[in-house]
Amino acid sequence: MATRTAPLETAGAHPPVPRRVLIALCATQITSWGVLFYALPVLLGDITADTGWSTAAVMGAFSAGLAASALAGIAVGHLLDHRGPRLVMTAGSTLAAVALAGVAAAPNLWTFTAAWTLAGIAQAAVLYKPAFAAITTWYGPKRVRALTILTLAGGLASTVYAPLTAYLASHLDWRDTYLALAAILAAVTIPAHAIALDPPWPAPLPDANGEGIAPVPDRRQIIASPTFIALAVAIALAAFAMSTSNLYLVPLMTGRGMDTATAAWALGICGAGQLLGRIAYAPIAIRTGPTIRAVLILAIGAAATLATALIAGPLGLVFTAVILLGAARGAFTLLDATAITDRWGPSGYATLHGILTAPATIAIALSPWLGAVLVDWTGGQPQMFALLAALVLIAAAICFGEGLFHRYVAKPSAGR
C-alpha cells in the first residue's frame, strides 16, 4: 500500500507523478465502464429472450446497482481520503469481477438484482469518482489536464467494449459472455490498480493545534453550507437531464420518422461531442471562474437540449444540435470533477465529492424509469426534452445564485 506522507498541498510542491499512473487509470476506466456499464445494453435482448424477464425488470436490477453505487460512494470517499486509491480500487476491481460472475450465474431475477447491487458497490470504487480523487490529489495544479485525458479515455469505453461484447455474444450465450468480460476486467484492472497506483498518499491535514486529523466539524460545515447544498441540487438536476436525454435521444429521432441507423449515428455523434467538450474544458477553466464556468456550460447544455427538442430538420442542423448537446455533457463531467477543488481546495476531496454527487448518481439511476414517466406526462419525446432543457437551465440559475451568495454573503473559500 502507498506510503503515507505529509500533505502535498501544504508542502507547496507536487512531486512528478509516474506516467504509469495515468496510463493505468485510463486503461482501467475504459475497461470498468465498458464492462460494468455499456455491456448490459448490448446483452439486454439476449438476457430477456433467455430468461423471460422483462426489459423493465432487467433495467430495474441495473438501476438498483446504480442506487447502491450512490450510497456506497459516500463511504468509499471517506476510505479514499484515509487509505488512498490503491487499496480501494484494487478491492473494487476484485469485487466487480465477483459480482459479474454472480450476474452470469444468477438463477432468478432476485439473485440477478442482488448481483447488480454488489456490482454497484464495486462501481463506486472503480469508476470516475475514485479516479478523480487520485488525480486531484496526485496532480495538484496540473489536475485539469490529467482529468481531461482520463475522461477522454473513459469516453472510448463504449467504442471498445460495445463491439467486443457483441462479438462475444455472437459466439457465446449471455452468461458465458459476462464470465468472459469478468475475466477481462479482472485481468486488466486488478493488477493495474495494485501495481501502478503506488505514489505516496498524503496523510490527513493536521488541525490548527497540530494534534492530528482535521476536525470533522469543518467538513460538516461545508456539507451543511448553502453553497454545497446548491451545488448538489444543481449537479443532480443537470445529471438527470443529461442522462435522460442520452437514453431517449434515439427514440426522439425515430419518433420523428428518422430511420434507426441514422438515429444511431446521431447518438454516436453525441458521444463524439462529449470528447470535444472535454477537450474544450481546460481552456475554458483557464479563462473563467467556477461560477461563470458552471453557468456557461449548463446554459449551453440547456440551449442544446431545447434545440434538440425543437429541430426536426434538416439533418445537418439536427446533428449540430446533437454535437452541442454532447459537448455540454462532456464538459459537465469535468465540471463535476473539479467542483470541490474549485471551491474548497483538495483536502478531503473524495469524501466531499462522494456526498456531493450521491443525489446525482441516484437521479441517474432513476432516469430510465422516470424518463418514460415524463414522456407520458408531457405528451411526447419533444416535450420531455423541452422539460429536460428547463431542468438544466434551473441548474444554471442555481449555480449563478450560489456564486452571488458566495461573493456577497459567505466568507471566501479556497479556490474561489
Backbone phi and psi for residue 288, each to the nearest 5 degrees, phi listed first: -135, 155
pLDDT at 285 over 50: yes
pLDDT value for 382: 94
The better pLDDT of the pair 208, 23 is held by 23
The better pLDDT of the pair 195, 156 is held by 195
* Average pLDDT score, the chain: 87
Backbone phi and psi for residue 206, each to the nearest 5 degrees, phi listed first: -70, 155
Helices (H), 106-215: 109-126, 128-139, 143-154, 157-171, 174-196
pLDDT-derived band of residue 205, with 50, 70 and 90 as boundaries?
Answer: low
pLDDT-derived band of residue 312, with 50, 70 and 90 as boundaries?
Answer: confident
Number of Cβ atoms within 10 Å of the Cβ of 251: 15
pLDDT at 313 over 90: no
Percent of the chain topping pLDDT 70 = 91
Q: What is the pTM (predicted TM-score) of this model?
A: 0.81
pLDDT value for 11: 41
Q: Crossing angle for the helix pair 55-83 and 128-139, nearest 10 degrees?
A: 20
For the stretch 136-162, pLDDT in tens is: 999 988 889 999 999 999 888 877 888
The better pLDDT of the pair 159, 232 is held by 232
Contact 158, 5 (CB under 8 A): no
Residue 107: its H or E element: none
d(CA 238, CA 390): 10
The better pLDDT of the pair 178, 251 is held by 178
The better pLDDT of the pair 369, 245 is held by 245
pLDDT value for 2: 44
| Residue found by looking up cell 470533477 in the block | 337
Instruction: Look up residue 268 and give its three cell numbers.
Output: 454516436
The angle subtended at Cα 246 by Cα 88 and Cα 108, nearest 5°, is 60
d(CA 260, CA 241): 23
pLDDT at 6 over 80: no
Number of Cβ atoms within 10 Å of the Cβ of 378: 15
Of 47, 57, 48, nearest to 110 (Cα)?
57
pLDDT value for 41: 81
pLDDT value for 159: 78
52 Cβ neighbours under 8 A, 6+ residues apart: none
pLDDT at 208 over 70: no
Contact 381, 258 (CB under 8 A): no
Contact 390, 301 (CB under 8 A): no
d(CA 360, CA 344): 20
10-29: b or e for each residue (b if 16 or more CB lie within 10 Å)? Answer: eeeeeeebeeebbebbbebb
Contact 47, 103 (CB under 8 A): no
pLDDT value for 157: 85
Give the Å distances, CA to CA, from 150 to 27, 56, 241, 279: 9, 32, 23, 11
pLDDT value for 51: 95
d(CA 385, CA 301): 12
pLDDT-derived band of residue 321, with 50, 70 and 90 as boundaries?
Answer: very high
Number of Cβ atoms within 10 Å of the Cβ of 324: 21
pLDDT value for 155: 82
Question: Can you give 212-232 as a three-state secondary structure string?
Answer: CECCHHHHHHHHHCHHHHHHH
pLDDT-derived band of residue 270, with 50, 70 and 90 as boundaries?
Answer: confident
Number of Cβ atoms within 10 Å of the Cβ of 50: 12
For the stretch 40-98, pLDDT in tens is: 888 888 999 999 998 888 888 998 998 999 889 989 998 998 899 999 999 999 999 99
Q: Which of 20-24, 104-108, 207-211, 224-228 has the lowest mean pLDDT?
A: 207-211
